């Protein structure tokens, strides 16, 4: 490392050799995780190959799971005695603090009952509204005006873009437990380099929606099934700047959303069917990863997962390996869809567009359709009056 100011004389070219990692260095987090994971492996834990921050210990019929995020750790298990023994061994080797039952983790609030688990970011949301001075704003029923199209050349450029960038950055983290705002935040984040007044107005519209639903989150019932269900969708060439399509998918475990994503496609699709087919490929990659995670958790890998798509042509392309004329220009990696269908992992199914949950990730919908699809994703607001 470079010596601190005043340590070396003028003209000297010396460095300091580190014997141990210092807090704040870029290597510190990696060295800490290496030390922690080595200790957990010595305790008998196995490290998940699907998610290296997940550790598992299986003894007879008992199981213990540890999830690590830097120096924040969640421990859960099916045997109280074994769980306490693991916590004691960790405390003996590291300076740790047991803060009890999980209630707050990385800005996510956790509420529990005998039958349900509820995850939300209410405090984080209220902090954003308070910082923006919109705690007294009139609430909105949906996050973005229907069919609104924003570009980087509309409106007056903001004189102070830093506040817009800070706001959108905070909203990005809010999407961790708010899939209903993912599409809007995705649109707003495309104009960080040169935000305009119209972009700020759209961000304030989103804040008005959050004002009406600050405690909205995900309800996880104890009786939910372990059946995976996937929805994928794509708009076609909707971006006015690049004419690229946007991929969106949502994966449910029973009735609980566990994975969702929205991303602009890397190439311009020549048809709606091609855009939908690419969306299916992205969703399948996530389903493949989830199947590996199921195996690491000791669960049976899912088979014939329903994958709902509202485009019949894309379903025909996926099922017909000789549909050459319409697919010869599509990259080879997209044809993972056909491979997974032949292996029996997926069962592509046609769904009406009005019931396509993934529409909420690719389009700015009206109030009625937005509220309908949001209810199908298992999103609840326990803080709202019944």
Segment 97-111, tens digit of pLDDT: 888 888 988 889 998
The DSSP element (H or E) to which 231 belongs, if any, is strand 228-235
**Can you give the pTM of this predicted structure?**
0.84
* Percent of the chain with pLDDT strictly greater than 70: 95
Q: Is the residue at 348 inside a domain?
A: yes
37 and 159 belong to one structural domain: no
276 and 366 belong to one structural domain: yes
Q: Is the residue at 268 inside a domain?
A: yes
β-strands 228-235, 305-309 pairing: parallel
Helix (H/G/I), strand (E/B), else coil: 241: coil
Q: Is the residue at 107 inside a domain?
A: no
Q: Rounded mean pLDDT of the chain?
A: 86
156 and 43 belong to one structural domain: no
129 and 168 belong to one structural domain: yes
How buried is 156 (Cβ within 10 angstroms: 0-12 exposed, 13-18 middle, 19+ buried)?
exposed
Is residue 6 predicted with pLDDT exceeding 80?
A: no
**Residue 268's pLDDT band (cuts 50, 70, 90):** confident
Residue with tokens 């669960």: 299
229 and 202 belong to one structural domain: no
Closest alpha carbon to 122 in 214, 212, 208, 220: 214
Q: Is the residue at 386 inside a domain?
A: no
Q: Is the residue at 346 inside a domain?
A: yes
Q: Which of 151, 185, 212 is the last residue of a domain?
A: 212
pLDDT in tens, 63-93: 899 999 888 899 998 889 999 999 999 988 8
**Residue 334's pLDDT band (cuts 50, 70, 90):** low
pLDDT of residue 328: 62
259 and 350 belong to one structural domain: yes
pLDDT in tens, 171-192: 999 998 899 999 999 999 999 8
Q: Which of 156, 182, 212 is the last residue of a domain?
A: 212
Q: Which of 100, 135, 170 is the last residue of a domain?
A: 100
To the nearest 10 degrees (0 to 180), the angle between helices 312-319 and 272-296 is 60
CATH number of the domain encompassing residue 266: 3.30.420.10
197 and 233 belong to one structural domain: no
200 and 229 belong to one structural domain: no
Fill in the DSSP letter of residue 333.
G
284 and 150 belong to one structural domain: no
159 and 246 belong to one structural domain: no
To the nearest 10 degrees (0 to 180), the angle between helices 197-212 and 161-174 is 40
Long-range contacts of 145-149 (CB under 8 A, 24+ apart): 145/202, 145/205, 145/364, 146/364, 146/365, 146/366, 147/364, 148/202, 148/364, 149/238, 149/240
Q: Is the residue at 338 inside a domain?
A: yes
Per the structure, the complete domain to which residue 156 belongs is given by 120-212
92 and 199 belong to one structural domain: no
Average pLDDT of the residues in 150-163: 85
φ/ψ of 336, rounded to 5, equals -60, -20
Q: Is the residue at 383 inside a domain?
A: no
pLDDT in tens, 278-300: 888 889 889 989 998 998 888 88
pLDDT of residue 333: 61
- Domain count for the chain: 3
β-strands 246-253, 228-235 pairing: antiparallel
For 176-215, the DSSP string reads: TS-GGGHHHHHHHGGGSSS-BHHHHHHHHHHHHHHHH-TT
352 and 249 belong to one structural domain: yes
Q: Is the residue at 377 inside a domain?
A: no
């Amino acid at each position: 490392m470079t010596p601190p100011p005043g340590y070396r004389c003028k003209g000297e070219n010396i460095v300091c050799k580190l014997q141990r990692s210092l807090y704040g260095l870029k290597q510190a987090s990696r060295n800490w995780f290496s030390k922690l994971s080595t200790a957990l492996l010595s305790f008998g834990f196995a490290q998940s190959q699907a998610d290296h921050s997940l550790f598992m210990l299986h003894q007879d019929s008992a199981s213990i799971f540890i999830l690590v995020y830097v120096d924040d750790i969640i421990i859960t298990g099916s045997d109280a005695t074994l769980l306490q023994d693991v916590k004691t061994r960790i405390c003996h080797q590291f300076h740790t603090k047991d803060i009890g039952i999980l209630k707050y983790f990385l800005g996510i609030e956790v509420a529990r009952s005998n039958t349900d688990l509820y995850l939300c970011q209410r405090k984080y949301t209220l902090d954003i509204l308070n910082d923006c001075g919109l705690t007294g704003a009139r609430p909105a029923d949906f996050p973005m005006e229907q069919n609104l199209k924003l570009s980087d050349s509309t409106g007056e450029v903001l004189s102070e873009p830093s506040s817009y960038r800070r706001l959108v950055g905070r909203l990005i983290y809010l999407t961790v437990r708010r899939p209903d705002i993912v599409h809007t935040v995705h649109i707003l984040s495309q104009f960080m380099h040169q935000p305009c007044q119209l972009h700020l107005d759209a961000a304030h519209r989103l804040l008005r929606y959050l004002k009406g639903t600050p405690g909205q989150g995900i309800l996880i019932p104890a009786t939910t099934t372990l059946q995976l269900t996937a929805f994928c969708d794509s708009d076609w060439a909707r971006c006015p700047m690049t004419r690229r399509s946007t991929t969106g998918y949502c994966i449910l475990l029973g009735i609980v959303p566990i994975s969702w994503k929205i991303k602009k496609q890397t190439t311009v699709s020549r048809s709606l069917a091609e855009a939908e087919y690419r969306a299916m490929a992205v969703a399948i990659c996530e389903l493949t990863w989830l199947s590996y995670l199921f195996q690491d958790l000791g669960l049976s890998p899912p088979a014939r997962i329903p994958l709902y798509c509202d485009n019949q042509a894309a379903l025909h392309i996926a099922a017909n390996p000789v549909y050459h004329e319409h697919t010869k220009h599509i990259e080879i990696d997209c044809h993972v869809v056909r491979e997974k269908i032949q292996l029996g992992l997926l069962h592509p199914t046609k769904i009406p567009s009005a019931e396509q949950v993934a529409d909420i990730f690719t389009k700015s919908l009206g109030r009625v359709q937005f509220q309908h699809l949001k209810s199908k994703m298992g999103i609840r607001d326990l803080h709202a009056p019944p």
